[in-house]
C-alpha cells in the first residue's frame, strides 16, 4: 500500500513514518502548509512526492490511503476531503471533536465506500490482546477499572494541545486512552462524573479525573493531565482476580513489556518482546483495505468512545453527573 501523509506532525515523524518503513508498505507523498517543512521530512524518509497544501496531495498524489495526524479540530474536515477523493483513511485519535461530528464523518465515509480507521495503536499490541483474553476467558465479573495517562507538557505556550480552537486539552489528547481501555473491559458506561482544572489558564483542561458508572454496579476511574510526571497504566479488578499493565499506551520502544495478573489465587507475570505497535496498526489497516474487512478501531468504535468523552466534558463543565444518553443522542 502506498501512503500519503497530511502534515509533518511530530507523531508522524516519531511513529508513523518509521512504522511504514518497517512494514511491506511505503510512504510516497507528504504535504504541509509549508513546502519547506515537508521537503525536510521527505528527504529524511525518502518520500518521493512533496506538496504545499493538503488538498494538492489528495488531488495529485499516487496513493492508496492517507494518514491524518493533524490537530483534532481538523480531523473531520480532511477525512471527508480524502473520502471525496476516494482515498482510504487512517486518522489519528480522536476522529472528531464530538459525537455528532464523529457520526457525520463515519456516515460520510460509508456513503463513499472508503475504509476509515481511528488510530488507537495500543489496541494492536499483543499485550493488550492478551489482557483482554485473560479477562474474557478467566475472570468472573469485573468490578472496576482504573486507568491513567499523564505527562508533563513543556515547551511553547502555543502548543496545539493547549488550544481551545484546535480542540486541545488533556482529555482529548491522552484521556481518550483510559476511556478506551475502560470500555474494552467494561463496555459502555451509563453515567459519568468528572472534574477538570485549567492550571495554565489556556482554555482547555490540563488535569482531569472522571468516574464512569455502569448499570451493573461496576465503575471505572480515569485520569489525564499535562502537569505531572509521565504515568500511563491500567488495572482491572474482578471477583476472582486482577491484572495490571504499566507503560500501557505509548509503550517505550525496544524494551520488553510485562503483564501481571492473578486468577483464582494464582499469580503470573508474562513478558512480551519489543514490537512496533504502530507497524501492527498500519498492517492491520492495510489488510482491512485489501480484504474489505472492518478495522478493529472502526467508525462505530470511534463514535462510542467519543460519546463518553462528550459526557465527561459536559460533566466537568457543569459539575454534575451526566447520563451518556443525555450527552448526545447516540445510535451505534
Q: Which residues of 267-293 are buried (b: 16+ CB within 10 A; e: fewer)?
A: eeeeebeebbbbbbbbbbbbebbeeee
What domains sit in the chain, N to C, each tagged with a CATH number?
2-119 (3.40.50.720), 122-327 (3.30.360.10)
What torsion, rounded to 10 degrees, do the Cα atoms 89, 92, 96, 98 define?
Answer: 140
Q: pTM for the full model?
A: 0.96
Please indicate whether residue 150 is annotated as part of the active site: no
Q: What is the pLDDT of residue 155?
A: 75
Contact 70, 95 (CB under 8 A): no
Band (327; pLDDT cuts 50, 70, 90):
low
| Segment 13-65, tens digit of pLDDT | 999 999 999 999 999 999 999 778 999 999 999 999 999 999 999 999 999 99
Whole-angstrom CA distances from 82 to 54, 131, 292 are 10, 35, 18
- List the grid coordinates of 316: 466537568
Label residue 215 exposed, middle or buried (CB < 10 Å: 0-12, 13-18, 19+): exposed
Which of 14, 93, 150, 230 is catalytic? The answer is 93
Mean pLDDT, the chain, whole residue set: 96
Task: Using alpha carbons only, give the angle 215, 217, 218 rounded to the nearest 5 degrees.
Answer: 105
Amino acid at each position: 500500500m502506498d501512503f500519503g501523509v497530511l502534515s509533518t506532525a511530530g507523531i508522524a515523524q516519531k511513529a508513523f513514518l518509521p512504522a511504514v518503513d518497517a512494514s511491506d508498505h511505503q510512504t510516497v507523498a507528504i504535504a504541509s502548509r509549508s513546502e519547506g517543512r515537508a521537503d525536510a521530512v521527505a528527504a529524511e524518509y525518502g518520500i518521493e512526492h512533496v506538496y504545499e497544501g493538503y488538498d494538492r496531495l489528495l488531488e495529485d498524489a499516487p496513493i492508496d490511503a492517507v494518514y491524518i495526524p493533524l490537530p483534532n479540530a481538523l480531523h473531520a474536515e480532511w477525512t471527508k476531503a480524502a473520502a471525496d477523493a476516494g482515498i482510504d483513511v487512517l486518522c489519528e485519535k480522536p476522529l472528531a471533536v464530538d459525537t455528532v461530528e464523529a457520526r457525520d464523518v463515519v456516515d460520510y465515509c460509508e456513503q463513499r465506500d472508503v475504509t476509515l480507521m481511528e488510530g488507537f495503536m495500543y489496541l494492536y499490541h499483543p499485550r493488550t490482546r492478551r489482557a483482554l483474553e485473560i479477562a474474557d476467558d478467566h475472570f468472573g465479573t469485573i468490578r472496576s477499572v482504573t486507568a491513567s495517562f499523564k505527562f508533563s507538557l513543556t515547551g511553547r505556550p502555543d502548543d496545539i494541545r493547549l488550544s481551545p480552537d484546535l480542540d486541545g486539552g488533556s482529555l482529548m489528547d491522552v484521556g481518550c486512552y483510559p476511556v478506551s481501555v475502560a470500555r474494552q473491559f467494561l463496555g459502555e458506561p451509563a453515567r459519568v462524573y468528572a472534574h477538570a482544572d485549567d492550571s495554565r489558564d489556556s482554555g482547555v483542561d490540563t488535569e482531569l479525573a472522571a468516574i464512569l458508572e455502569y448499570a451493573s454496579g461496576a465503575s471505572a476511574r480515569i485520569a489525564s493531565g499535562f502537569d505531572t510526571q509521565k504515568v500511563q497504566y491500567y488495572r482491572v479488578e474482578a471477583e476472582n482476580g486482577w491484572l495490571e499493565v504499566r507503560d500501557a499506551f505509548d509503550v517505550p520502544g525496544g524494551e520488553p513489556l510485562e503483564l501481571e495478573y492473578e486468577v483464582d489465587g494464582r499469580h503470573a507475570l508474562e513478558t512480551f518482546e519489543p514490537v512496533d505497535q504502530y507497524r501492527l496498526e498500519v498492517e492491520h489497516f492495510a489488510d482491512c483495505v485489501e480484504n474489505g474487512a472492518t478495522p478493529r478501531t472502526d467508525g462505530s468504535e470511534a463514535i462510542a468512545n467519543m460519546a463518553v468523552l462528550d459526557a465527561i466534558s459536559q460533566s466537568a463543565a457543569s459539575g454534575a453527573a451526566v447520563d451518556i444518553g443525555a450527552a448526545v443522542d447516540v445510535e451505534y
